[in-house]
Amino acid sequence: MRISELAERSGTAPATIKFYIREGLLPPAERTGYNQVSYGEEHVRRLHLVRALVDVGGLPIARVRAVVAAVDDPATDLQQVMGAAQRALPGRDAPAPPPSPSSLAAVAELSRAQGWVVEDGNPGVAQAAAVLDSWVAVGRKDLFDGLPAYASASDAIARADLALVWPDAADRDRSAETVVVGTVLGDALVAGLRRIAQEHVARTTRPRPTSSPTSSPTVEEPS
C-alpha cells in the first residue's frame, strides 16, 4: 500500500511515519520500482504498537526504539525482552544514588517471605529498594507496613502476565510482543484500575475499621 493508505489505516500522519522510519521504530518500505515504495501489513501492525507505546504507555521515542529492537532481535530471549520493556518505562532507570544496603536487604527479605527466588541482577530489586529509600528519606518508614500486601498483589499481576505469555511461547515474535504490550501497557492498565479501585475502596471503607465490619480497610492476604 502507499503511505497515504498506511497513514489512514494507522491514524498517523505521513510525516510522522517517515520520522518513525528514520528513528528506526518502523522498517523502511519495500522498494517496488523506480521512485515507488510499498508498505505492508507488518507496517500497520508495528505502527499501532509504536503509537500504543508512545500515546498510552507514555514512552519517549528513544525508549520505544530500545523496546522495538529487543522485540526484533531473535537472539533476545523473553526474559531479556521483559527486562528491556521494564527498563523502558518512565522513571525506571537504574536509580542514582544506588539503593542502600538496608533497603536492598528489606527487598530480599520481602522476596523470601513471598517465596520469590530471583537472580542478583534483577532490575526490580534496585527499583523497589529505591522506593523504600525514598520512604525513609521523607520520614515514612511506617509505609513499610504495606509491603507484604503490595508483594502479594505484584505476584498476582506477574501470574496474570505469564498466563498471557505462555500460550504463545512457541511463537517467539508473538510472545515477545505480548511481553511488551503486557508490561508497558499493562502498567498503565493496572494504574488505571488501581485509580478506580481507590475511589471505590475510599468510599466503602472507613478510617475506623469497627464502623464498617463488612469492608475492612485491612488487606486480607492470600495464604
Q: Residues 78 to 137: which contact a second copy by CB under 8 A? A: 78-79, 82-83, 86, 89-93, 95-97, 107, 110-111, 114-119, 122-135, 137
Helix axes 78-88, 172-180, angle to 10 degrees: 20
Among 162, 211, 213, 214, binds a second copy (CB under 8 A): 162
CA distance 218 to 6: 52
Among 52, 66, 76, 100, binds a second copy (CB under 8 A): 52
Among all chains, which residue has been given the C-alpha cell 507496613?
Answer: 145
Residue ranges with strand state E in the chain: 30-33, 36-38
Least distance in Å: CB of 200 to a second copy?
A: 4
Residue 36 beta carbon to a second copy: minimum distance, rounded to whole angstroms: 28
Residues 6+ apart with CB under 8 A from 205: 212, 215, 216, 217
Angle 165-168-174 from CA coordinates, rounded to 5°: 95
Quick check: helix, strand or coil at residue 30? strand
Number of residues that bind a second copy (CB under 8 A): 108
The binder of a second copy chosen from 7, 12, 39, 51 (CB under 8 A):
51
| 165 contact partners, CB below 8 Å, separation of at least 6 | 78, 175, 178, 179, 182
Residue of 1, 21, 66, 143 interacting with a second copy (CB under 8 A): 143
With CB under 8 A as the contact rule, which of the stretches 15-23, 25-33, 66-74, 151-159 interacts with a second copy?
A: 151-159
Which lies closer to a second copy via its Cβ, residue 37 or residue 201?
201
Of the residues 23, 80, 154, 172, which one makes contact with a second copy according to CB under 8 A = 154
Q: How far apart are CA 107 and CA 104, in angstroms?
A: 5
The answer to whether 161 contacts a second copy (rule: CB under 8 A) is yes
Instruction: State which residue, 11 or 14, has the beta carbon closest to a second copy.
Output: 11
